Structure 1
Amino acid sequence: MPRRTVTLLASSLVLIALLLVALLAPTPYAEMSPGPTVNTLGTYGGAKVIQITGRQTYPTTGHLNMTTVRVTGADYHMNLVESVLGWLRHDDKVVEHDTLYPKGQTAEQADQQNAEEFSQSQDSAKVAALEELKIPVQSRVIVAAVVKGGAAEGVLHAGDVVKSVDGHTVSAADQVATFVTKHQPGQPVTFTVVRAADTKKKNPPTHQVTITTRTSDDTGPKRAVVGIQAGVEHLFPFTIDIRLADVGGPSAGMMFALGIIDELTPGSLTGGQFVAGTGTIDDNGNVGPIGGISLKTIGARDKGAKFFLTPADNCEEAAKDVPGGLTLVKVKTLDDAMAALKDIRAGHLSALPSCTK
């Protein structure tokens, strides 16, 4: 074989190899696509999504579907071929990997964060739903977490109920830090607590524990700390279980709240209509924005939804590309969502607040 032919062949093989490496090498991108939608009034995996015991419930009809987005894993980086194909597909979205998974966050940490946000969203959904129905919900301040190596380690424990700090009764989680930071680092602070193991007793004993404060080591002004994170635990008058595996994040909060309300009230919130939606919710019923709104509307439409309850702060983005046959309904609060469902039941569709670009 002539030397020139050998050279050309070798060069071609090298070029092909370089192209393959360029195409298959990992890129700094991740992919989002429409995920499953689940009827909060129905079943998933063979079990009811919302299970209520200790309170009368009522039959429901129609759909109140929560929506999800499917994303590539934290440890996975798309190659160039996958990235290009993702950009070309209308129903998928290619984003920078760090947008979904901040640098330094492991897959386990991402899963843990999503699980915690999902759990918190369920708790807030229950509170908001019962408040909407004027059903009282009691709460108490607890030790949510103890910092490893902190001053409180071995003295306070997660789940302990904080009754007072230095004799000052606490009714909100942020009051704990307020009372602690009145001290100078190195000064003692006294907590009155009910131990987590005693909280189910009829008249649980209280204990006083004194902790020597330390200096904060985070950014900002130095202050006294004891190394705990305070939180709020709600005490519900009956049991509400939300069972939905393999879902994370806070975005289903509003739809869970609506599902709970529908279960606890006669009649049907939807009037038999197929309604989907998304949005975070806080204890006061405020609906917050979420990510991947355009993918969630596609998933809802493909499942059969006719109406989509959309957080007000997501409306502009969602209105840029509305799937055919889907009506976007703008909501800021749980009250807004309830009013919209009333109009949907009555067929007053022109009264629905719509999303605009």
Structure 2
Amino acid sequence: MASGLGALVIGLAAFTLPSAYLTESPGPVFNTIGEIQESPVISVHGADTHETEGSLSLTTVYVNGAPTSTVRVFDALRGWIAPSVDLTPHELVYPSGTTREEVQQRNQAAMASSQELALAAALDHLDVDYTVELSVMQFTEEAVAAGTDEILIPGDQMLAAEGEEITGLEGLRQAVNEAAGEPIELTVVRDGQPVEVEVPTYQEADGEYYVGIMLATEFDFPVEVDIRLEDVGGPSAGLMFALGLVDTMTEESLTGGVNWAGTGTVDPDGTVGPIGGVAQKTVGARNEGAEHFLAPRPNCDELEGRLPGGIEVYGVEDVDQAVAILEAVRDNDEDFLAGLQPCGR
């Protein structure tokens, strides 16, 4: 009897131990063309602005687990059962030794960057000129081990990858992934002259390929934008910020009063990149009343069999396509919508 009771106590205690997993669950949404505490989320200065209607909401995911919080064994088991919660081994997301402060700083920096990239993408869609430069800052340990720091030097300005102009980070990431571990040909400006170099690429545990170059991005915009949104981090709001800016600077409403939500990184040329937690974000959007959802086309496979009822999901590759879909739904253009490739169905 005593041994059985002891085993029960030990078993119950095991449920309270920290697990080796992170959980992702649906988070709140924020309307980029709405207000927070009676102040607009987006304010544009130096350009004509117009009244908006409906919603273009960015979506978020609650990520729980070390180093920002603790997911205990019981929480992990509960998440494993819940259809809208995903479990991910901690080491696949955060390198060993990552601190809570480092995660917060990284997320804040990514959010600030996504706002700049969104403005660039919005201006590109609206055919408003601006300038951008990407230049080498420093290298990761993996890049140094591969000898990249002997090929590139801080200050090199990126021009092209495999002969294609680089307009932003997403375009460079795409080119590196297409290299699939082979060296990639980059064209840079050094001391005022174009130089072509071959740079090694390597694969990380997440399956993505990298060159290990940390870049500085410098924009010169003809308008100023203030985005009021606190306690939200990461780069995945870029697409919805861009659409909110386009809607704000366009005379006719993009939504026609319809409630939209979405997610995706964005590059200055409007390219929409994949994100994490897309299944959770569609659930969170549906729960907040969104009727339609924009997802990065590369994420559509993750939604197979996981789409919640009551919301229509569209896969997009760039801002131009996203705007075209918004307008087609607004105008009830059934022929256009019928020709779209399904996303998650």
Bin of the TM-score, shorter chain as denominator length: 0.7 to 0.9
Residue 107 (1) aligns with residue 131 (2):
no
Q: Structure 1 regions of 5+ residues with no counterpart?
A: 1-7, 148-161, 165-170, 183-218, 220-227
What is the distance in 2 between the residues matched to 1:335 and 1:309? 12
Larger Rg: 1
Aligned residues: 287
Question: Could you say which residue in structure 2 is the equivalent of 1:241?
Answer: 226
What is the distance in 1 between the residues matched to 2:139 and 2:6? 57
Q: CA deviation at 1:312?
A: 0.6
Please give the secondary structure, in 2, of the residue aligned with 1:116: helix
Question: Could you say which residue in structure 2 is the equivalent of 1:137?
Answer: 130
104 and 176 in structure 1: CA distance in 2 versus 1, 3 angstrom threshold: farther
Q: CA deviation at 1:343?
A: 0.5
230 and 69 in structure 1: CA distance in 2 versus 1, 3 angstrom threshold: closer
Question: Could you say which residue in structure 2 is the equivalent of 1:25?
Answer: 17
What is the distance in 2 between the residues matched to 1:317 and 1:143? 34
CA contact (8 A) 1:73 1:107 kept: no
Residue 122 (1) aligns with residue 115 (2):
yes
Please give the secondary structure, in 1, of the residue aligned with 2:293: strand
What is the distance in 2 between the residues matched to 1:172 and 1:88? 43
What is the distance in 1 between the residues matched to 2:15 and 2:191? 55
88 and 350 in structure 1: CA distance in 2 versus 1, 3 angstrom threshold: farther
Give the alignment of 1:264-283 within 5 angstroms.
Answer: 264-283=249-268
Q: Structure 2 regions of 5+ residues with no counterpart?
A: 141-154, 158-165, 169-186, 196-201, 203-212
Match of 1:44 among 36, 60, 84: 36
Question: Could you say which residue in structure 1 is the equivalent of 2:74?
Answer: 81
What is the distance in 1 between the residues matched to 2:156 and 2:265? 30
After superposing the two structures, state which structure 1 stretch, 258-267 or 67-76, moved more: 67-76
Match of 2:320 among 323, 335, 345: 335
69 and 134 in structure 1: CA distance in 2 versus 1, 3 angstrom threshold: same
What is the distance in 2 between the residues matched to 1:102 and 1:111? 14
With the length of structure 1 as denominator, give the TM-score of the two structures. 0.73
Question: Could you say which residue in structure 2 is the equivalent of 1:175?
Answer: 188
Q: CA deviation at 1:141?
A: 6.2
Please give the secondary structure, in 1, of the residue aligned with 2:188: helix
The one-character-per-residue Cα deviations of 1:108-165 (angstroms, maximum 9, x if unpaired) are: 1111111121111111110110111111112356786899xxxxxxxxxxxxxx799x
Question: Could you say which residue in structure 2 is the equivalent of 1:258?
Answer: 243
Please give the secondary structure, in 2, of the residue aligned with 1:268: coil
With the length of structure 2 as denominator, give the TM-score of the two structures. 0.75
CA contact (8 A) 1:30 1:97 kept: yes
Question: Could you say which residue in structure 1 is the equivalent of 2:343?
Answer: 355
CA contact (8 A) 1:176 1:230 kept: no
